[in-house]
Amino acid sequence: QDLAVRLTDDTDPFFLYNLVISEEDFQSLKSQQGLLVDFSAFPQKFIDLLQQCIQEQNKDIPRFLLQLVSSAPALDHAPVSLNVVETNPFKHLTHLSLKFLPGTDAEIKKFLANCLKCLKEDKMMLEEKLKKTEEDLTRQLSYTQQSLSEKSRELDKLKNEWTSYTTALSNKHTQELTSEKERALQAQTQYQQQHEQQKKELENLHQKSIQQLQNRLSELEIINKDLTERRYKGDSTVRELKAKLSGLEDECQRAKQEVLSLRRENTTLDAECHEKEKLTNQLQTRVAVLEQEIKDKDQLVTRTKEVLDATQEQKVILEESTEEKQRHIEKLETTIKSLSAELLKANEIIKKLQGDLKTLMSKLKLKNTVTIQQEKLLADKEEKLQKEQRESQEMGQSLRMKEQEVCKLQEQLESTIQKLEESKQLLKTNENVITWLNRQLSEVQMAKKLDSPASAHAAGRAAVSPLSMPDRPSFHSSGISHPVSPLYAFQNFLEPTQSKNGNSQCPVSLSLQVQLNSQLSKLSRCSDAHPANKENGDPLGLESKYLKKKDDSIPLRGLSQNTLSSEYLRPYLPAKAQPSAKAAATPSAYFPG
């Protein structure tokens, strides 16, 4: 691959310099000028440098310059070097310098031939465009001239019709004017009489309305006082509600953020919808415009026909009315002569009445201005009252909602207080049970310590050697290694004696253990019947703090329902020592507290 660069001048067609750079030539140029670009990227970088020179050529102090330097005094077929120079206040740096060779006669001829070919092709294209534009313009001229001639004819027709129509209308209006003048004189007299009657009626109505408004004002002032008192009460409730609103506003802000994200999605969808709606609206407007034009033309035709029919009918009616009016005019001329003397007298009376009317009208205007001002003040007060009534209604609704919430909270409080009291009672009973059990266990343990040597000898003679009796058994499976209470050891001690002496009687002291075991079974059943409410978090029964191991007390794990059950010890007890149903049912028999 080779890179070919050509220098030309539009003003001088014989100015031609060529440069052909191969990969080997580029490597030598790269080593000489210290370039950091490969051969593949060199053309684009060279173009970028030229564009920077073009951008800064119009500046006063350009940063990049192109210099064409030749060894000969004039450019007469001598080799030339093209330098890309960057100007600094300190130094002129040459980024790139390329040596161009002048073109031979054959190369110049080829270049000129190519230029001629391009110019001829451009000329042919322009000529074709000219012909097309001339043809289009001639067509448009002919079409516009035809349309002009048609519209000028239509104008002439319309002018002729308009002149005929105006003459007919002028004749018609003159006749109508004469008849309306007569009617106006008759109407004037009637209006004067009506005006006097209306004047009296309005004065009476005005006085009544003033009294009603004064009564209404007094009522409104009383209502206003009541509303101000309610407003102060509402303000106090609003302040309390604002504190609650602050918590709700935080939740609203979170909801608003979600709404904003949804609105952004909606805006994208709305933009698409608006574009489609615009297209449909444009098409609908075009259809509507065309339909309106058709309707307007139809209406014009129908109106012109109606006008013609009406004018013909009016002509016939007017001819008949003119004959009758001429007869009537002859009669009226005789009466006018007699009435002229009376009219002179009436005019003098009318002038006096007109003076009185002017004075009355001035008084009426003053009264009207006063009433208008009062009506405006009343309207303003009514608007204010309506606003206050709306605010009071809204506050009443909000107060009702809050009262409902307060009732619900009170019910929840009562339920929680009842649960607390029940749990306190259970705790008290549990504490009494635990204290009594600890006392009984300590007493039993002390009694066993005293009776242990005698019972050990008796057991060794009867069944087993003392080496086979475990004093402190351990639960390997459960991981319990602390000492077990002596009741558990006593229970294990009774098992071999049962096998040898099935009908033997135990001492009476075992009845106390049976009573303890029956009471423990009752407690376990109560705890099963009243489990902890996990949802409300209200523990019912013994808490974990009462089951912790104490230093003074004996551990309760030896007193489980399985090890000390009354059913297990029942065959070893006499009939008198077994607990009765009443004693097992009543806790007062076992718990002195």
Residue 319 has pLDDT above 90, yes or no: no
Q: For residue 453, what pLDDT is reported? A: 58
What is the reported pLDDT for 491?
44
Query: Is 466's pLDDT higher than 80?
Result: no
- Give the whole-angstrom CA distance, residue 7 versus residue 67: 13
Nearest to 419 by CA among 528, 533, 547: 533
Span of 30-44, 139-153, 335-349, 502-516 with lowest mean pLDDT = 502-516
Q: What's the mean pLDDT in 13-42? A: 88
Query: Which residue, among 468, 441, 431, has the nearest Cα to 543 in the 3D structure?
Result: 431
Provide the pLDDT for residue 127: 93
Residue pair 486/446 in contact (Cβ under 8 Å)? The answer is no
**For residue 508, what are its two tokens?**
């009476």
How high is the pLDDT of residue 454? 55
Residues 6+ apart with CB under 8 A from 29: 21, 35
486 Cβ contact list (under 8 Å, min separation 6) = 444, 445, 448, 449
Residue 130 in this model has a pLDDT that exceeds 90: yes
pLDDT reported for residue 471: 42
DSSP 531: -
Query: Higher-confidence residue: 132 or 359?
Result: 132
Burial class (CB in 10 A: 0-12, 13-18, 19+), 433: buried
Q: Residue 565 above 60 pLDDT?
A: no
| Edge-first strand listing for the sheet containing 92-102 | 2-8, 16-22, 92-102, 80-87, 64-70
Is the CA virtual torsion 201, 202, 205, 206 positive or negative? negative
Residue 261 domain-assigned (yes or no): no
Q: Which residue range is the domain that position 10 belongs to?
A: 3-103
Among candidate residues 498, 484, 490, the one with its CA nearest the CA of residue 451: 490
Q: How far apart, in whole angstroms, are the C-alpha atoms of residue 570 and residue 375?
A: 104
| Total of domains in the chain | 2
The residue with greater pLDDT, 46 or 522, is 46
- Sequence-distant (≥ 6) Cβ neighbours of residue 15 within 8 angstroms: 7, 8, 9, 75
Amino acid occupying residue 576 = K
Instruction: Annotate 186-222 with DSSP letters as a single string.
Output: HHHHHHHHHHHHHHHHHHHHHHHHHHHHHHHHHHHHH
Tell me the three state secondary structure of residue 467. helix
The answer to whether residue 440 sits within a structural domain is no
Average confidence score pLDDT of the chain: 76
Residue that finishes a domain, picked among 326, 350, 385: 326
Bigger pLDDT: 39 or 565?
39
Pick 463 or 86 by higher pLDDT: 86
DSSP count for the chain of H helices, then E strands? 7, 5
Least confident of 247-256, 328-337, 447-456, 490-499: 490-499
Q: Is the pLDDT of residue 371 over 80?
A: yes
pLDDT score at 303: 84
pLDDT in tens, 376-392: 888 888 888 888 888 88
Percentage helix, strand, coil for the chain under 3-state DSSP, each rounded to 5: 75, 5, 20
**DSSP E strands, 452-544:** none
pTM over 0.75: no
248 vs 257: CA distance, rounded Å: 15
φ/ψ region of 34 (left if φ > 0, alpha if ψ in -120 to 50, else beta) reads left
- CA dihedral (251, 252, 255, 259) in degrees, to 10, reads -170
Residue of 585, 446, 458, 454 whose CA lies nearest to 515: 585
**Percentage of the residues of the chain whose pLDDT score is greater than 90:** 9
pLDDT at 76: 64
- The distance of Cα 330 from the centroid of its chain, to the nearest Å, equals 86
| Residue 88 maps to a domain | yes
The structure tokens 């077929």 sit at 77
Is residue 78 in a domain?
yes
Residue 243 included in any domain: no
Identify the pLDDT of residue 467: 39
pLDDT single digits (tens) 138-193: 999 999 989 899 988 899 999 899 888 888 888 888 888 888 888 888 888 888 88
34: in domain: yes
Instruction: Please give the pLDDT value at position 536.
Output: 42
Total residue length of the chain: 593
The secondary structure of 38-95 as a DSSP string is -TTTHHHHHHHHHHHHHHTTTSSS-SEEEEEEESSSS-SS--EEEEEEEE-SS-EEEE
- What mean pLDDT do residues 200-212 have? 88
Half-sphere exposure of 290 (CA within 13 A, CB side): 6
* pLDDT mean over 224-235: 86
Domain termination residue (choose one: 301, 326, 351): 326
Greater model confidence, 531 or 344: 344
Q: What percent of the chain has pLDDT over 70?
A: 75
Domain boundary among 50, 83, 103: 103
> Quick check: 574 pLDDT over 70?
no
Residue 480 has pLDDT above 50, yes or no: no
CA distance 535 to 76: 106
CA distances from 589 to 193, 439, 487, 574, 579 (A): 116, 15, 21, 19, 10
pLDDT of residue 47: 92
Asked if residue 418 belongs to a domain, the reply is no
Looking at the domain assignment, is residue 384 inside a domain?
A: no
CATH code of 37's domain: 2.170.210.20
